[in-house]
């Protein structure tokens, strides 16, 4: 698979029988391993194909079981757990020839006219126009915000997202795996980047959770604010929020990641 320049290219899954889809992954700069955000986005998209359009994604919980490879397709098998009047639940297992690589639970909710209260505020940071683009993918523009401590801030704007609530959620899910490990890494006393990092650490996402609170913008700037919560046994935690450029709290996320210091 060539590397798409738009999000919709990643979400072009092929049906392979009832409630089964197959997706592909491009090669990434770090080697044969599939990018976790791609698998989350494709699994959520696959799940949504079995859900009526009036339900939009409101949460997902995922476990990364083993590292996938871009050299073979990924098979997404969907289980229709529940169809309720207000909520719909789906489970998706992603498989390759070596077995299951990923498991996703996703919940969808109809829009309800209830009270809307926001209790968290977007931090005061430089605007995207004041920062340099430093991403590794053509699919989104990434602009890191300088900050101190065990925190990672970045502006993100995707490209070519399908203009639906599901498309917006999948796009956000795709980019969401790029930042929690940056925050977790900053909590380790040894700081290194690039090739030096890969020689010193083995890092991987273990589990990932997201909650979509409000309608998401399509291909507009969003701010990720991630904060690490410590390391123990090689595992680190990060929690954070996603805001619109206007300061609306759009989503929350949590991730546990493996940060294993390699012995020589």
Q: What's the pLDDT tens digit per position in 11-29?
A: 999 999 999 999 998 877 7
Tokens of 151: 């925190």
Backbone φ and ψ of 107, nearest 5°: -125, 140
Euclidean distance between CA atoms 125 and 147, whole angstroms:
9
**pLDDT above 60: residue 223:** yes
Give the confidence band of 264 by pLDDT, cuts at 50, 70, 90. Answer: low
Backbone φ and ψ of 195, nearest 5°: -60, -35
Q: Which of 184, 198, 153 lies closest to 29, judged by CA?
A: 198
| Burial class (CB within 10 angstroms; exposed 0-12, middle 13-18, buried 19+) of 132 | exposed
Average pLDDT of 79-103? 97
Euclidean distance between CA atoms 114 and 89, whole angstroms:
21
Which CATH class name applies to 7-110+132-261? mainly beta
209 Cβ contact list (under 8 Å, min separation 6): 59, 60, 61, 62, 253, 254, 255
Tokens of 170: 């999948």
């Amino acid at each position: 698979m060539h590397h798409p320049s738009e999000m919709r290219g990643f979400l072009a899954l092929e049906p392979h029988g009832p409630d089964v889809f197959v997706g592909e992954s491009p090669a990434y700069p770090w080697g044969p391993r599939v990018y976790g955000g791609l698998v989350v986005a494709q699994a959520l998209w696959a799940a949504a194909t079995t859900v009526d359009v009036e339900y939009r994604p409101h949460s997902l919980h995922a476990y990364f079981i083993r590292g996938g490879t871009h050299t073979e397709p990924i098979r997404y098998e969907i289980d229709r757990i529940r169809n309720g009047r207000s909520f719909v639940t789906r489970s998706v297992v992603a498989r390759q020839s070596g077995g299951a690589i990923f498991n996703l639970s996703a919940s969808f909710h109809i829009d309800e006219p209830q009270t809307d209260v926001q209790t968290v505020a977007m931090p005061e940071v430089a605007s995207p126009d004041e920062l340099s683009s430093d991403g590794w993918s053509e699919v989104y523009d990434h602009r890191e915000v300088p900050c101190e401590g065990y925190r990672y801030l970045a502006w993100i704007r995707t490209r070519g997202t399908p203009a639906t609530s599901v498309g917006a959620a999948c796009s956000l899910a795709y980019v969401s795996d790029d930042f929690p490990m940056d925050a977790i890494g900053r909590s380790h006393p040894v700081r290194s980047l690039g090739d030096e990092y890969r020689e010193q650490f083995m890092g991987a996402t273990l589990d990932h959770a997201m909650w979509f609170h409000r309608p998401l913008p399509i291909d507009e700037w969003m701010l990720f604010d991630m904060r690490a919560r410590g390391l123990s046994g090689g595992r680190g935690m990060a929690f954070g929020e996603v805001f619109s450029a206007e300061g609306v709290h759009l989503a929350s996320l949590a991730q546990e990641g493996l940060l294993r210091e390699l012995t020589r």
